[in-house]
Structure 1
Amino acid sequence: MSATTDQDELAPSQTPGYKVGEKKTLDEYATMDSTDESLNRWKASLGLAGKAAGSQVDGPKVIILHLALEVPGREDVILDLSSREALENVKNTPFVIKEGVEYQMKVKFRIQHEVVCGLKYIQVVKRKGIKVDKTEEMIGSYGPNDEPYEKKFMVEEAPSGMFARGHYEAKSKFIDDDGFTHCEWNWSFDIKKDWD
């Protein structure tokens, strides 16, 4: 039996029969099938209605600003992911989750230069080197916008009990339908009996 690499563990699941569409520029999206009502509604949902790209600008298409842990009645735990330094800090600074608490993850991000299709969040959690969880959350398709987007994930419950308490290592990434990884980082958290 061969060992699984981190990249294999963070690979998105594949839907049989799903084929990624051909990549298009903003100008192509703006002019294609202008009489197709449903396509025009889709373009409007991405903020592309009547928008042409003009000149393409270099730089990242997706900028992940932060990932946050939202717990009712508590201040959000925010993981700043906006720079290389911030990613290093997240890697070296574990945070605490109270056992059994219901929480919701949310991400804040910006899209620039072109449409990003099928953006996904993938996370693998390990304890003492053994994989205990893999999460794959579809974020969606988004067009460029000066204002950041925010997407909330499904509500989850932290494990509880003596055997669940302890230190966990996680690796996460944001990837799109074209297989391009926009952000990838390591982080960690501790499940404890209480918040401190």
Structure 2
Amino acid sequence: MSEQPDIVLLAMTVNAEGGERLRLDPADSGLLAGPVAIKEGAQYSLGLEFRVNHGDTAGVRYIQVVKRAGVTVDKLEEGLGVYGPSSDGSLYKKELAAEEAPTGLQARSGTYKVRSRIVGDDGTVYADFEWSYKLAKDWQ
């Protein structure tokens, strides 16, 4: 039996309409310190780049919980689909459903902390990391 996990998350991207594509490294412990700026009211989506070492991704899902001032304000759960291991080690990319960023002064007045996880249907956690974002009037 291999000691490598079935699924390895290599990067998460924030893809926004009218903004640049931001690439986040889940292994970067400083993701909470420097929040990602997202323009208020903009359509954006998250992308996942991962490798499947063995097995397949049936039943694996991405779970995201967004909190502001300690209160949960949003939760997203989406299946990743079915991907098998790649013999040449190539990456898979999954684009999650697009969302619209909130608008208004109150929405811009704080930092949102996000916990992102990739979890198997058997409870195995393949990725678990935190990052943050703030809403701004324009892309910064």
TM-score for both structures, normalised by structure 1: 0.66
2:23 partner amino acid? I
Q: How large is the RMSD of aligned CA atoms in angstroms?
A: 1.3
Q: Give the strand-richer structure, 1 or 2.
A: 2
Count of aligned pairs between the two proteins: 137
| Residues 58, 81 of structure 2: 8 Å contact kept | yes
Aligned to 1:41: none
Aligned pair in 2 of structure 1 residues 61, 107: CA closer, same or farther (>3 Å)?
same
How far the C-alpha of 1:109 sits from its partner, in A, is 0.4
How far the C-alpha of 1:75 sits from its partner, in A, is 2.1
Mapping for residues 91-130 of structure 1, pairs under 5 Å: 91-130=32-71
TM-score for both structures, normalised by structure 2: 0.91
Output the CA distance in 2 between the equivalents of 1:103 and 1:176. Answer: 25
How far the C-alpha of 1:113 sits from its partner, in A, is 2.2
Bigger radius of gyration? 1
Aligned to 1:75: 20
Uncovered stretches (5+) of structure 1, i.e. residues with no partner:
1-55
Uncovered stretches (5+) of structure 2, i.e. residues with no partner:
none
| Residues 171, 187 of structure 1: 8 Å contact kept | yes
Output the CA distance in 1 between the equivalents of 2:134 and 2:64. Answer: 16
Identity of aligned residues (%): 39
SS of corresponding position for 1:109: strand
Mapping for residues 129-168 of structure 1, pairs under 5 Å: 129-145=70-86, 146-165=89-108, 166-168=110-112
How far the C-alpha of 1:193 sits from its partner, in A, is 1.3
How far the C-alpha of 1:74 sits from its partner, in A, is 2.9
| Residues 91, 185 of structure 1: 8 Å contact kept | no
Output the CA distance in 2 between the equivalents of 1:178 and 1:142. Answer: 17
How far the C-alpha of 1:77 sits from its partner, in A, is 1.0
Aligned to 1:61: 6
Q: Give the helix-richer structure, 1 or 2.
A: 1
